[in-house]
Amino acid sequence: VTPKVLLNNPVSLVSKEMNTLAKNIVALMGSGHPTLNRVTGYYFEAEGKKVRPMLVLLLSRALAEIPIEERNRITVDNTDVPEDPVYSKPPQSLLFQHPAKSISPLHILHGIKPLNPLTKGPEPLPEDFDRERGILPKQRRLAEIVEMIHTASLLHDDVIDHSDTRRGRASGNVAFTNKMAVLAGDFLLGRATVSISRLRNPEVVELISNSIANLVEGEFMQLKNTAVDSDLTTVANGTQKIPPPSPKLTNPTHDYRVPVERGAVFSQEIVIDTAFDYYLHKTYLKTASLISKSCRAAAILSGAQETVVDECYNFGKNLGICFQLVDDMLDFTISAKELGKPAGADLQLGIATAPVLYAWKEDHSLGPLIQRNFSLPGDVERTAEAVAKYEGVKKTRELAYEYRDRALANLRAALPESDARSALEFLTNSILTRRK
């Protein structure tokens, strides 16, 4: 039986690791440029949900409860993460040695600070560390890497979505400009990649690298022709020459379900079902992929058997889809103030998420509005009314419950009973009640 205190606070099991997470990430991110450091560190200053690292850490803790004889992969990888090398060396003239001594003119001009000291791997394992039951150093680092990748994607996402707030304050693009937000995201991604490779596990490198590619592919699937149009508007208002229009996706089935016979006519039901498949696949790529692949990576590092590794992967996948369904629901139901980021944004951005697709199933006349990305006056309002009338939000919640149930079944199949598993169950359930 799980102690009540634990059920109320699943984090307590991994609080030590969660407390050092931000500090370790800052060490992994340090550059020689103070402004770059400010932008990359910006989203870590405000309290995020940190769902991804928490999942990796709790799952690692729960995996450690599997008896060592049942972990028939080659070995449990409990070696330390190798220390990171000096990332880059600026020329001697830029190095700041002593306030009174060699300060170069460029140092003053650009405010270049001394390089960060060597970034160390996680603190050495304590003497009494239980090598079979503790969270492994590489799993700790994995949690940090996943949060870095997620943060990089948020910096880019806020540029793409023209968002002006995140975590209750100005978003990175607003606080520092689009250019800096994009570059800081790229830098974070670069540093995360260094750290992944230093886990010295080719399978994990492949998984996490793939999840980065998946994030971009998911975002691209979501663009359809909205971004092309908004970019065109931007350049049209400026002095740049307007590029030729890109080929437009005339309906969501285009390019998705192959083979599509040219000129074939589909019933509305088939078009809507296909749009739903497209939406779920996009959701997997943009949100669930990073979560599921990091869960899989945590299991691989623990030396778990293939079936356990697969269940952990499916757990992350189902939980990730559930998470994004709730996100898409909250966009319709919660105020911007409570969310700490823009609300009602998806329709404004021309994106049809689950609540709209459910309404479309009932009211086929929404098709053209979805197709033109709600771009005509009144489209957004009419769609929002249809979502309310046909209970799109309620139906989305029911779908999220289905994914939650699958995720819980995966957990029970993968892991023996333990406090950590109960904490994971608690976390999985709490995704449905979250309000931000």
C-beta closer to ligand FPP: residue 290 or 427: 290
C-beta closer to ligand FPP: residue 63 or 215: 215
Q: CB of 87 within 8 A of CB of 198?
A: no
Distances (CA, A) of 3 to 59, 413, 420: 18, 22, 11
Phi, psi of 170 (to 5 degrees): -55, 135
Instruction: List the alpha helices (DSSP H) in 334-378.
Output: 336-339, 345-348, 354-362, 367-371
Q: How far is the CB of 382 from ligand FPP (least distance, A)?
A: 22
| Of 419, 430, 367, residue with least CA distance to 6 | 419
| Of 325, 310, 323, 312, residue with least CA distance to 355 | 325
Q: How far is the CB of 353 from ligand FPP (least distance, A)?
A: 8
| Of 43, 40, 50, 41, residue with least CA distance to 19 | 50
The DSSP secondary structure of 117-184, one letter per residue, reads PPPP-SPPPPTT--TTTSPPHHHHHHHHHHHHHHHHHHHHHHHHTT--EETTEE-HHHHH-HHHHHHH
SS3 266: coil
* Selected range binding Mg ion among 10-18, 142-150, 159-167, 290-298, rule: CB under 5 A: 159-167
Q: How far is the CB of 239 from ligand FPP (least distance, A)?
A: 27
Q: How far is the CB of 261 from ligand FPP (least distance, A)?
A: 33
Q: How far is the CB of 117 from ligand FPP (least distance, A)?
A: 27
Q: Which two tokens stand for residue 245?
A: 């229009």
Q: Quote the CA–CA distance of 189 and 118 in Å, as a whole number.
A: 19
C-beta closer to Mg ion: residue 227 or 400: 227
Q: CB of 17 within 8 A of CB of 140?
A: yes
Binding at 32: pick from Mg ion, ligand FPP, none (beta carbon under 5-8 Å per type): none
C-beta closer to ligand FPP: residue 107 or 317: 317
Q: CB of 120 within 8 A of CB of 156?
A: no
C-beta closer to ligand FPP: residue 171 or 428: 171
Q: Quote the CA–CA distance of 61 and 76 in Å, as a whole number.
A: 13
Q: Which of residues 366-405 bind Mg ion (CB under 5 A)?
A: none
Q: CB of 189 within 8 A of CB of 149?
A: yes
Q: How far is the CB of 304 from Mg ion (least distance, A)?
A: 33
b/e per residue 240-266 (b: at least 16 CB within 10 A): eeeeeeeeebebbbeebeeeeeeeeee
Q: How far is the CB of 374 from ligand FPP (least distance, A)?
A: 16
C-beta closer to ligand FPP: residue 71 or 282: 282
Q: CB of 112 within 8 A of CB of 90?
A: yes
C-beta closer to ligand FPP: residue 184 or 407: 184
C-beta closer to ligand FPP: residue 209 or 375: 209
Binding at 229: pick from Mg ion, ligand FPP, none (beta carbon under 5-8 Å per type): none
Q: Quote the CA–CA distance of 200 and 206 in Å, as a whole number.
A: 11
C-beta closer to Mg ion: residue 160 or 384: 160
Binding at 212: pick from ligand FPP, Mg ion, none (beta carbon under 5-8 Å per type): ligand FPP
* Residues that bind ligand FPP in the complex, under the rule CB under 6 A: 149, 152-153, 156-157, 160-161, 163, 185, 189, 212, 215-216, 219, 286-287, 327, 341
C-beta closer to Mg ion: residue 51 or 301: 51
* Selected range binding Mg ion among 2-10, 158-166, 247-255, 400-408, rule: CB under 5 A: 158-166
- List the one residue from 17, 77, 144, 157 that touches Mg ion (CB under 5 A): 157
Binding at 311: pick from Mg ion, ligand FPP, none (beta carbon under 5-8 Å per type): none
Binding at 17: pick from Mg ion, ligand FPP, none (beta carbon under 5-8 Å per type): none
Q: How far is the CB of 238 from ligand FPP (least distance, A)?
A: 23
Q: Quote the CA–CA distance of 274 and 256 in Å, as a whole number.
A: 8
Q: Is residue 161 within the footprint of Mg ion (CB under 5 A)?
A: yes
Q: Quote the CA–CA distance of 181 and 172 in Å, as a whole number.
A: 6
What's the one-letter identity of residue 357? L
Binding site for Mg ion (CB under 5 A): 157, 161
